[in-house]
Homo-oligomer: A and B are copies of this chain.
Amino acid sequence: MAADDLHLASAARLRASGQRYTSNRRAVVDVLAGADRPLTIPELLARRSLAQSSVYRNLAVLEDSGVVHRVTSTDEFARFELAEDLTEHHHHHLICSTCGAVADFTVSDGLEDALARTMANVAATGFRPEHHRLDLVGRCAACA
């Protein structure tokens, strides 16, 4: 997706939630769009000088509006990435069990289909699946 379309789509989702697409929020989306993996707040602040509290607040707003997605790792930092339907890139995460680093990866369509079938089956138990989370946990190149 082109950068302009991304911002247009982000603005639309915020507007749908009664929120504005301010320059700070645009900056957050920009930084996340330029990363090839989910970013922590310190990483985000290192790439764009913003008030920490505004970043926390804006990420919460962006998450509520479905523009960004929160990723959980093994360390104490929350990580954020753009929603998959904005990037049009369904992917999963490699998570380092030692340092908590997160990288993106994809799997075959066949496996994704199998996952989708599994989700449909579980729906019978009273649980309403929204999406799945397939992570590979192990040692990253730096920690191996």
Contacts and interface: CB of A to CB of B under 8 A. Distances in A.
A144 B108 CA distance: 31
A133 B74 CA distance: 12
Nearest to A133: B135
Contact of A136 (B70, B73, B108, B132): B132
A139 B130 contact: yes
A45 interface: no
B105 A111 contact: no
Contacts of A103: 127
| Top 9 closest pairs, chain A to chain B, by CB | A126-B141, A129-B138, A133-B135, A130-B138, A128-B139, A72-B72, A129-B136, A128-B138, A111-B114
